[in-house]
Structure 1
Amino acid sequence: MGGPLSPEDEGGRRLSAQLLSARDLRVEFGLPGGRVARAVDGVDLDVAPGEIVALAGESGCGKTTLARTLLGLERATGGEVSFGGVPLSHKSKALKAYRRRVQLILQDPTGALNPRHTVYDAVAEGLRIHGITGNETERVSEALARAGLRPPERFFLSYPHELSGGQRQRVVIAGALVLHPHIIVADEPVASLDASVRGEILALLLRLKEEMDLGALVITHDLGLAWSIADRIAIMYLGRIVEQGTVEQVLTDPRHPYTQALVSVLPGSLQKAQSPVREPIVLTGELPDAANIPGGCRFRPRCQEFSSGRAAAVAARCQHEDLEVMGAQTVDHAVACHLHRLQVKEAA
């Protein structure tokens, strides 16, 4: 199997090099009593060919909703998703073509595989759904081999219950690869696996990135995983990205108080890479409800800088002014924080 197909829309026109993009993306859900939950509240994000981007944050911060919207599984209520510069259409033919190019890998391979389907049928299913003709057996064999299941013929007639957890996840990955995608969206791709297998799957994703120029958006709450695999990282809090940059920039020099708190409790090996090394920061309170986002800076009620008085110079802004959506390509290391902006201004 060669690399991914040249990016083209359904009319065969060449698309731009920047593959998956979101601009000012918003997703709202109506709730009883007329309330509205702003699950995704203004997000700019890009994934380029051959790039792994980690999207990290606490459970409930909007990561999965954002991923589902990027995949076309949820409709945005504002903003835009585009692939290769072409806006995502929800018309059935266009959406089907898009989903061939942007494939989802779920965290639970057992739930993702039909227990009554053999490995061969599980991998071939995408080819059949999309009406892709040619040598089906050859394409299934190549996808399984790419995913590290060799010799592939040995697994053709196996059922999911006959495989280990790592092998099942490789089958799921093969089912995506058989369509020659340009981007994969992986939602906690190793969360259900034993520690001994996690490294193997992460190494596989890195190899696929290099061999196929495959882009990936990896959804995770595990910053250690992001450090191991990602080129760039975006930190999400309550529906909005609050910091993004290269994984080295963000995790060794975190600048948003939320990122600093997340990084401060990481294992020692990553802690030692930080300058300066930080004492553990325990966040107070729970993540607020997306239907009741605090006014001003949405992180303020839990912010260690605000509660300690260290943000006194910008306290009024923190209380009353939310920061605008952070542009994906504005600067290499972007931070949505009033205190950080003041510090940058004073240092200039």
Structure 2
Amino acid sequence: MKVVVVGAGYAGLLAANRLAKKVKAAEIAVINPRPHFVERVRLHQQVAGTAVAAAPLTSMLCDGITSRVAAVDKIGDGSVALDDGTSLDFDYAFLAVGSTVQPMPGSVPVGTWEGAEQARAALAALPAGNTVTVIGGGATGIETAAEVAEARPDLRVRIVGSAVAGGFSHRAYQRVRSGLVRLKVDVVDDGVTEVVGGIVHLRSGAAFASDLTLWAIVSGVPDLAARSGLKVDSEGRALVDEYLRSVDDERIFVVGDCAAVPGARFACALATPQAAHAANTLARLSEGRKPEPYALRYVARAVTLGRKNAVGQFTRPDDTLRRAYVTGRTAVVIKELASRGGKYGARTGTGA
């Protein structure tokens, strides 16, 4: 059985490594545009210079799995076409290209490895007294603003979003906001219309100068599925059946952010369970057993506020928020364990 995995993020690596353990006869090849695995949950730390968010791809793969650094032009009809003109045939494939960012002109994206590296260099070059603006009031924006503020207290840091920390509720929401303020982050609830000449313009008509503007909004997915002729939703995510297979081709499993799983949002915490389930499904099929449908289940939402504080709010399985939450050092430990667990699961193929 020949298996090709497109994408070496959390979902792609976990699927490849899990399958290598469950289907010994499988010939597995992983294709990725860069020679390393990127811990996306640590990119805000990469930006601030407080951690390294990448590891060699070869160190993340089980024995017997081959890897190839290349971009994929098209997937379908039992073949993956690469940008160098070559192709790889497959019996089954896993599409795990994740999500992407579409930064506003005049800003630097922090949700990709290349953008985070650019932001890290720019931040390191900023003299004291300069202003950093983070656009995006979700988890990526909150963690980036907090990490930069803690690492560079000599800078003025501002976060701008239509509803900063709007993904939390009740006292957890208040704790996130107060945590930002405690780090001296200016919180601005407004939308951004444009960034021109170092000036950030808001929907309200206000504007302010920014020496470095970071784009911290993850939106959309790579267009590989659409470009390959697979059915996609309005966001470009590939439509899948209850077993996480493309509705157009049962040989192609789609997992992670690029899969249009009903009720799923962009999150590492969802990508890994999907990858594990898809790998289990292929293992069951290889044994002639009936596959089981995938069941989406949420547990919590969490953000770090620098290295010493965090907030986690528990959710119901359908992602509606509970009032219960944790904060402070307890939340930091939980968040760190989850981050380490994500990398460990990807490298070992473990996790649910």
Q: Say which structure is richer in helix.
A: 1
Normalising by structure 2, report the TM-score: 0.25
Q: Say which structure is richer in strand.
A: 2
